[in-house]
C-alpha cells in the first residue's frame, strides 16, 4: 500500500493538464502554494488516562486543486498511518448562476480509502449539500465528522470576506443516530490576519449511550503562519475526549 500511496503522490504533485473554461478550476497561482501543518493530539479516556499522537501534513495548491500527504503516529497505540489526498472546487456556469462542485479523495495505508462529493451555489447567500463514502477499512479519522455521511450547509458572506455559516453532517450508513452541527464564523482582521470560530454541537450513541456534547475550534491566521486549538468531546463517537493543537506555515 505504501508503494501505491507514493505513486499517487508523485502523479498528483507532477500535475495534470488543466481543463479550461466550461468547467473547471480557475484558481490562480498562489504566492505560497505549500502549507505545512504539525498537529499535536491529546486523548483522554473516561478513567482520566491520557495519550498523545502527532500528525504532520504537507499540502500543495495548484490549478488541479489541493494535494496533500499526511503521516500520523500514535505511539501508545502502536499505530502509524500514512495518507495521501486530493480535493478541489470546480466552478460551473449554469443558466441560473454559478454552481461549485467539490470532490475529494483520500487513500491510507492498510487499504483504506474515502471520498466525498459536494455541490454549492450562491454568492452572498449560499447553500450546499454533500455525500461521503468509505470502504469501511480501519483508518484514523482526523476530522470531526463521520465519513459515511450526508451533509447540508449554508450561510452568508459579507463584502469584506466576513462570513457566518452552518454545516449539518449526519452518518447515513452504520450509525444514523450520529449528527454534527457546525456553526462557523470567519472574521478578517487588519494586516491580513483572520480569526475563525467553529462551534460544534454533536449527538449520537457512544457504546450504546446517547450523548450530547459541545466542541470548539479556534483558528488565528497570519499571512504566513497559523495556529489552531480545538476540543472534540467523544472524538469520532468514541469514549475519548480530544484536544488538538495545530501549528502551520505557508511557503
Please tell me the total number of residues recorded for the chain in this structure. 251
For the chain, percent of residues with pLDDT exceeding 90: 82
Q: Assign 208 to helix, strand or coil.
A: coil
Give residue 109's pLDDT: 95
- Tally: H helices and E strands in the chain: 1, 15
Tens of pLDDT, residues 15-46: 333 333 333 343 445 689 999 999 999 999 99
Q: Tell me the pLDDT band of 14, cut-offs 50, 70 and 90.
A: very low
Give residue 139's pLDDT: 83
What number of other Cβ atoms are within 10 A of residue 31's Cβ?
A: 9
The residue to which cell 448562476 is assigned: 97
Q: Assign 81 to helix, strand or coil.
A: strand
Spatial contact of 84 and 5, defined as CB atoms under 8 Å apart: yes
Evaluated on CA atoms 91, 172, 177, 42, the torsion sign reads: negative
Distance CA(133)–CA(172), nearest Å, equals: 10
Question: H or E segment at 14?
Answer: helix 2-14
pLDDT greater than 90 at residue 99:
yes
Spatial contact of 119 and 100, defined as CB atoms under 8 Å apart: yes
Q: Assign 64 to helix, strand or coil.
A: coil
Distance CA(113)–CA(137), nearest Å, equals: 7
Tens of pLDDT, residues 190-200: 999 999 999 99
What are φ and ψ of residue 57, in 5° steps?
A: -135, 130
Q: Which residues of 36-52 are buried (b: 16+ CB within 10 A; e: fewer)?
A: ebebebebbeeeeeeee
CA proximity to 246, closest of 35, 46, 104: 35
The residue to which cell 470502504 is assigned: 135
Give residue 29's pLDDT: 59
pLDDT greater than 90 at residue 244:
yes
The arithmetic mean of pLDDT across residues 207-231, rounded, is 97
Query: Would you list the DSSP string of 138-204?
Result: -----SSS-SSEEEEEEEEE-TTS-EEEEEEEEE-SS-TT-EEEEEEEEEEEGGGEEEEEEEEEEEE
In order of their start, the domains of the chain are 2-16+25-250 (2.40.160)
Tens of pLDDT, residues 114-159: 999 999 999 999 999 999 999 999 888 788 899 999 999 999 999 9
Amino acid at each position: 500500500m505504501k508503494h501505491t500511496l507514493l505513486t499517487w503522490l508523485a502523479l498528483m504533485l507532477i500535475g495534470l493538464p488543466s481543463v479550461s473554461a466550461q468547467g473547471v478550476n480557475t484558481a490562480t497561482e498562489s504566492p505560497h502554494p505549500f502549507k505545512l501543518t504539525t498537529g499535536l493530539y491529546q486523548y483522554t479516556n473516561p478513567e482520566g488516562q491520557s495519550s498523545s499522537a502527532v500528525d504532520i501534513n504537507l499540502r500543495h495548491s495548484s490549478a488541479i486543486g489541493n494535494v496533500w500527504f499526511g503521516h500520523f503516529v500514535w505511539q501508545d497505540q502502536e499505530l502509524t498511518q500514512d495518507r495521501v489526498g486530493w480535493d478541489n472546487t470546480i466552478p460551473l456556469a449554469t443558466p441560473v448562476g454559478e454552481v461549485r462542485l467539490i470532490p475529494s479523495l483520500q487513500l491510507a495505508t492498510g487499504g483504506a480509502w474515502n471520498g466525498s462529493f459536494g455541490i454549492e451555489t450562491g454568492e452572498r447567500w449560499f447553500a450546499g449539500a454533500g455525500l461521503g463514502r468509505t470502504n469501511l477499512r480501519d483508518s484514523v479519522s482526523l476530522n470531526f465528522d463521520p465519513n459515511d455521511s450526508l451533509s447540508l450547509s449554508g450561510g452568508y458572506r459579507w463584502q469584506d470576506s466576513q462570513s457566518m455559516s452552518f454545516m449539518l453532517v449526519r452518518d447515513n450508513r452504520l450509525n444514523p443516530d450520529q449528527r454534527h452541527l457546525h456553526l462557523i464564523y470567519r472574521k478578517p482582521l487588519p494586516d491580513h490576519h483572520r480569526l475563525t470560530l467553529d462551534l460544534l454541537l454533536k449527538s449520537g450513541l457512544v457504546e450504546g449511550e446517547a450523548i450530547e456534547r459541545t466542541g470548539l475550534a479556534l483558528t488565528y491566521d497570519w499571512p504566513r503562519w497559523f495556529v489552531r486549538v480545538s476540543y472534540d468531546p467523544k472524538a469520532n463517537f468514541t469514549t475519548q475526549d480530544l484536544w488538538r493543537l495545530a501549528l502551520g506555515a505557508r511557503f
